[in-house]
Amino acid sequence: MDALQYDVSLKPYNTLAIDVKAKYFVSAQSLIQIQQALAFAQAQGIPFFLLGGGSNLVLTQDIPYLVLHIATKGIQVLSEDQQHVTLEVQAGENWHAFVQWSLAQGWSGLENLSLIPGTVGAAPVQNIGAYGVEVKDYLDSLTALDTQTGEVLDFSNAKCQFSYRESYFKQHLGRYLILSVRFRLNKQAKLHLEYGPIRQQLAEEGIAEPTPQQVAAVVCTIRQSKLPNPAELANTGSFFKNPLVSTAQVQRLKQAYPDLISYNLSNEQAKLAAGWLIEKAGWKGYRQGDAGVHAKQALVLVNYGNASGKDILQLAQKIQQTIRDKFQVSLEIEPNRL
């Protein structure tokens, strides 16, 4: 197989810049190459690991089997009417580049998800979201390869079983390889401006009636002010999920911490800002060797150079313990760990 490589460093393929090696590596640019790589793994009797943009991943050791990097490209318009357009996007497309391209065509919906690192194929696995919008809100359906049976299957939005940072594919991690994703976008903007930082930034820029492109630009400004560029300082973005708690617990916490940041989801449930909890506990800007907590956004763990995946996870576990002790709240790590 021409695409097969040996003993490849994965440092360029994960945004935490963890330097581990893959014994076998294939960067697949077509379904045929994907199938050939899986056939190789089966013939060798070895496991395989799927790798997209590597932006939601903590690698803790060398991988003594096959790493399959999805690098397929292409965007196709499937249908459109006066209100909507449906697109099929190949899994290896860069997520942010796709969002910017769709906006340039005059199609909106994904502007709040600008500047999220990773690939289109990885986006549904995590059900990525930001500023009140999640991938599930605009995902029509997708096509995935069942790596156990070899079948190519279509999944409707409902079959994906999306919830907060969850999906059917995350629950069955590694079994289904997402090949392409279909999105249904708006031709007439329906903007999501509920989150305070977006409204505040628009006001600062004197924009009263924003376009989707202006919302995207504002989102990029906000993210760049808080989140380091992985090309400049290695990170995976938000390292912890915003915890879901009861509204009763929120009220108890607010008695001790009136400035607590929370968002009510229902009469019974609320979401806490994990970054606020971590900063309040004193971790913002902390550094332990080359593993650290970002100085501007406590939700982000960073690699200053030569931190290992284990170094990053050890720091994360210390933070989790502090939050449990101080607030009686459990923080869940968002990136996948290998």
Q: Which of 55, 141, 238, 308 is catalytic?
A: 238
CB 118 within 8 A of CB 52: yes
Q: Is 266 a catalytic residue?
A: no
From 165, 182, 184, 223, active-site residue: 165
Burial 160-194 (b: 16+ CB within 10 A, else e): bbbeebbbbbbeeeeebbbbbbbbbbbeeeebbee
Q: How far apart are the first and last CA of the chain?
A: 26
* Integer Cα distance of 89 and 103 in angstroms: 15
Contacts of 5 (CB under 8 A, 6+ apart): 24, 25, 26, 27
Phi, psi of 44 (to 5 degrees): -80, -10
Beta strands in 225-272 (DSSP E): 234-238, 244-246, 262-264, 269-272
Q: Is 175 a catalytic residue?
A: no
Instruction: Give the ranges where the chain is alpha helix by DSSP (H).
Output: 31-44, 95-104, 123-126, 168-171, 196-204, 212-226, 247-256, 274-280, 309-327
3-class secondary structure, 263: strand
Given a contact cutoff of 8 angstroms between Cβ atoms, the answer to whether 164 and 110 are in contact is: no
Surface-to-core class of residue 154, CB atoms within 10 Å of its CB (0-12 exposed, 13-18 middle, 19+ buried): exposed
What distance in Å separates the CA atoms of residue 111 and residue 191, rounded to the nearest whole number?
9
165 is catalytic: yes
Question: Which residues are known to be catalytic?
Answer: 165, 238, 334
